[in-house]
C-alpha cells in the first residue's frame, strides 16, 4: 500500500459501527486478508467491535464475540500499514479486554500479533493450519460413513454437540450460520455424532465448523461438503490436533499459512467423544 505514514498521536478508541465497514473492508484488503464486506457485516452483527480513527479515516479495528456467559473469541484485529508502531493495537486490545472483562478469551494470532498478546497475558495452547486452493478434483467420499443433509430438527442436537466439542456455548454463532450455510450430519443410532457446514466467505467458500468423533467421520464430512465446489476456491482452517493437514494436501488443499491459538485464562475443554476438527474461520473459532 503506497502513501505516507499517518500520525495518530491524538487518536481515540470508538465503537465500530456499520458506517465504518467500507473502510474496514479497505483495511483488510490492504493486508491481503480475504474478508468481503458481507463477512465484515456478519462479524459485527454477531459481536462487538472497536475502531481507531485519525482525521476521519479508520486506521484500526478489533472485534470480539460472546460465547455464553463464560467465553469470548477475539479477532479481526487490524492496524493500517500506514499507522503501525503507534500503539494502536494496544489501545484497541485494552478497550476490548475491558469490554469483555470476566470472560476467558481465545484468539488466533499471526506471527506479527504474538508479542502484543503475550504482553497482555495470552498463552499459546495450539495451532491452526490454513488450507486453501481452487479444488481441481472432488475428493473421494467414504461410502462407509453415512453423511446426510442436515434438517431443521437436527439443529438442537448440532448445537449441543458443538458445545461439547468446542468447550463453549456457541449457540449464537450456529444460529447465525445456519441460514447461510449448507450443513451435513453423521447420524448413528438416532444420535447426531458429527456435523459440518460450508458457506460463501472470502475468495470462495469456507468449510467449517467441522465436528466429529474421529478422523474418518471428519474426512467424510469435509469430502461431502467439498464435492459441490469442484473448480471453485475452497478454504478450511483445521486444528493441529485434528491430524488432517496431510490428507487435505493430498486432496488438493495445501497448507498456506498457520496461526497460534492463544488463551487468556483457562482454555476451553472438549469432552472425549466430540472433536473440533475445523473452525468456522480463524476469528470466530
Cell matching residue 154: 437436527
What does the pLDDT read at residue 162? 98
The answer as to whether 265 is a domain residue is yes
What does the pLDDT read at residue 4? 52
Q: Where does a domain end: 82, 102, 122?
A: 102
**Tens digits of pLDDT across the chain (285 residues):** 345 555 555 578 999 999 999 999 999 999 899 999 999 999 999 999 999 998 889 999 999 999 999 999 999 999 988 767 778 999 999 999 999 999 999 999 999 899 999 999 999 999 999 999 999 999 999 999 999 999 999 999 999 999 999 999 999 999 999 999 999 999 999 999 999 999 999 999 999 999 999 999 999 999 999 999 999 999 999 999 999 999 999 999 999 999 999 999 999 999 988 999 999 999 999
What does the pLDDT read at residue 85? 76
Query: Read out DSSP for 131-168?
Result: EEEE--SPPPP-TTS-EEE--GGGHHHHHHHHHHHHSS
Q: 181-188 and 191-201 as β-strands: parallel, antiparallel, unpaired?
A: antiparallel
Q: In terms of C-beta density within 10 A (0-12 exposed, 13-18 middle, 19 or more buried), how is residue 157 classed?
A: middle
| Contact indicator for 134, 28 with CB cutoff of 8 Å | no
The answer as to whether 150 is a domain residue is yes
| Contact indicator for 146, 182 with CB cutoff of 8 Å | no
What does the pLDDT read at residue 2? 40
The answer as to whether 108 is a domain residue is no
Note whether 91 and 151 are same-domain residues.
no
Alpha-carbon gap, residue 5 to 88, rounded angstroms: 13
The answer as to whether 41 is a domain residue is yes
Range of the domain at 249: 130-278
The answer as to whether 4 is a domain residue is no
Cα 210 to chain centroid distance, Å, stands at 12
Note whether 136 and 92 are same-domain residues.
no
Residues 6+ positions from 130 with CB-CB distance below 8 Å: 235, 237, 255, 256, 257, 258, 259, 282
Q: In terms of C-beta density within 10 A (0-12 exposed, 13-18 middle, 19 or more buried), how is residue 275 classed?
A: buried
Note whether 134 and 216 are same-domain residues.
yes
Which residues face 258 on adjacent strands?
A: 129
The answer as to whether 73 is a domain residue is yes
The answer as to whether 114 is a domain residue is no
What does the pLDDT read at residue 8? 56
What does the pLDDT read at residue 6? 52
Note whether 66 and 140 are same-domain residues.
no
What CATH number does the domain containing 20 carry?
Answer: 3.40.630.30
CA atoms within 13 A on the CB side of 26: 12
The answer as to whether 181 is a domain residue is yes
Query: Read out DSSP for 258-277?
Result: EEEEEEESSPP---TT-EEE
Note whether 66 and 203 are same-domain residues.
no
Give, to the nearest 10 degrees, the angle between helix 37-46 and helix 21-30: 120
Q: H helices of the chain, where?
A: 21-30, 37-46, 88-99, 114-119, 155-166, 171-177, 215-226, 245-250
What CATH number does the domain containing 251 carry?
Answer: 3.40.630.90
Q: Name the domain count of the chain.
A: 2
| Contact indicator for 212, 184 with CB cutoff of 8 Å | no
Cell matching residue 262: 492463544
Amino acid at each position: 500500500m503506497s502513501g505516507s505514514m499517518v500520525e495518530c498521536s491524538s487518536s481515540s478508541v470508538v465503537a465500530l459501527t456499520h458506517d465504518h465497514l467500507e473502510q474496514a473492508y479497505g483495511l483488510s484488503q490492504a493486508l491481503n486478508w480475504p474478508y468481503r464486506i458481507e463477512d465484515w457485516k456478519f462479524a459485527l452483527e454477531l459481536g462487538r467491535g472497536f475502531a481507531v480513527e485519525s482525521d476521519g479515516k479508520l486506521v484500526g479495528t478489533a472485534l470480539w464475540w460472546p460465547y455464553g456467559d463464560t467465553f469470548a473469541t477475539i479477532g479481526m484485529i487490524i492496524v493500517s500499514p500506514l499507522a503501525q508502531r503507534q500503539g494502536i493495537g494496544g489501545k484497541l486490545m485494552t478497550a476490548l479486554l475491558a469490554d469483555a472483562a470476566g470472560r476467558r478469551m481465545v484468539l488466533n494470532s499471526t506471527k506479527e500479533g504474538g508479542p502484543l498478546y503475550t504482553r497482555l497475558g495470552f498463552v499459546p495452547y495450539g495451532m491452526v493450519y490454513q488450507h486453501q486452493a481452487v479444488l481441481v478434483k472432488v475428493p473421494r467420499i467414504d461410502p462407509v460413513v453415512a453423511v446426510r443433509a442436515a434438517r431443521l430438527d437436527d439443529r438442537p442436537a448440532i448445537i449441543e454437540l458443538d458445545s461439547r466439542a468446542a468447550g463453549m456455548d456457541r449457540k449464537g454463532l450456529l444460529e447465525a450460520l445456519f441460514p447461510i450455510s449448507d450443513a451435513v450430519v453423521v447420524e448413528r443410532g438416532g444420535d447426531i455424532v458429527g456435523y459440518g457446514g460450508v458457506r460463501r466467505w472470502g475468495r470462495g467458500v469456507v468449510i467449517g465448523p467441522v465436528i466429529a468423533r474421529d478422523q474418518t467421520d471428519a474426512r467424510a464430512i469435509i469430502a461431502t461438503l467439498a464435492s459441490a465446489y469442484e473448480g471453485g476456491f475452497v478454504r478450511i482452517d483445521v486444528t493441529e490436533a485434528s491430524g488432517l493437514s496431510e490428507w487435505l494436501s493430498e486432496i488438493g488443499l495445501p497448507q498456506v499459512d498457520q496461526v497460534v491459538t492463544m488463551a487468556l485464562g483457562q482454555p476451553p475443554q472438549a469432552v472425549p467423544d466430540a472433536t473440533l476438527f475445523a473452525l468456522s474461520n480463524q476469528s470466530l473459532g
